[in-house]
Amino acid sequence: MTRPEIFGVVNVTPDSFSDGGEHFEADAAIAHGLALVADGADWIDVGGESTRPGAQPVGPEEERRRILPVIRALAAEGIAVSVDTMHPGTALAALDAGARLVNDVSGADPDMPAVVAETGARYVVMHNRGEAGAPSDYADVAGDVRDELLRRVDALVARGVDAAQLILDPGIGFSKDAAQNWALLRGLGRLTTLGHPVLLGTSRKRFIRTLAGESLLDRDIATAATSLLAAQHGVWAVRVHDVRATRLVLDTLEAWSGE
């Protein structure tokens, strides 16, 4: 078993569902990113627009104002940075600032494939049928997500993106209710055998809160458990807020496995 890489989340927003805007200022966001790396993060995922249900949209100019200083500072330290954005202009500016990967929860902008193709950056293809938190109907959630992601891969390749750039994300919490999220997690093996790396993001999401309650500590414990189980299903990476807990459970699994 190969230990999954860990993406530590840095939200440069005033309305994040997970930290309440604690890292909205650039200096605080940079310090938090450095602390996450010290805790064991392999990547820092920087976002300037909240994707929680009901969040107000942020224009690309404001998004770039929030995140570019953070990305430049972290990249200058040799840290692998991903940018969490739905806007092609922001993605391009972030890559110019030192980001190495585009994490796009929407996939809706028709100009994004050109940015990915021209820069050669790695790109997360996330499953999403609509707004976060709005459940949809599935005949077989794991199978439907697999098929829809593969259609998106084909569409990106047709636009000139190299398939080797693409990372799949099942989109936990996006257009899925709690039962669908758990069913999708049980079917992760149907994604990890497709030949593309899989990035999983469960951290502190609503279905975790339904299970664990409002305590961030309890939600992070439940999240760490999903990271351990995801590692056993062969995911490439997990995206989390509590890097230390995730690192500990993955190190424990690695020691148990004797690898």
Q: Is 186 tagged catalytic?
A: no
Residue tagged active-site, from 122, 146, 176, 239: 239
Q: Of 122, 205, 219, 247, which one is the catalytic site residue?
A: 205
As a whole number of angstroms, the distance between CA 23 and CA 143 comes to 37
Q: Residue 237: which residues within 8 A CB-CB, separation 6 or more?
A: 4, 5, 6, 7, 42, 43, 167, 197, 198, 199, 200
Q: Is 239 among the catalytic positions? A: yes
Pairing of strands 199-200, 166-169: unpaired
Active site residues: 205, 239
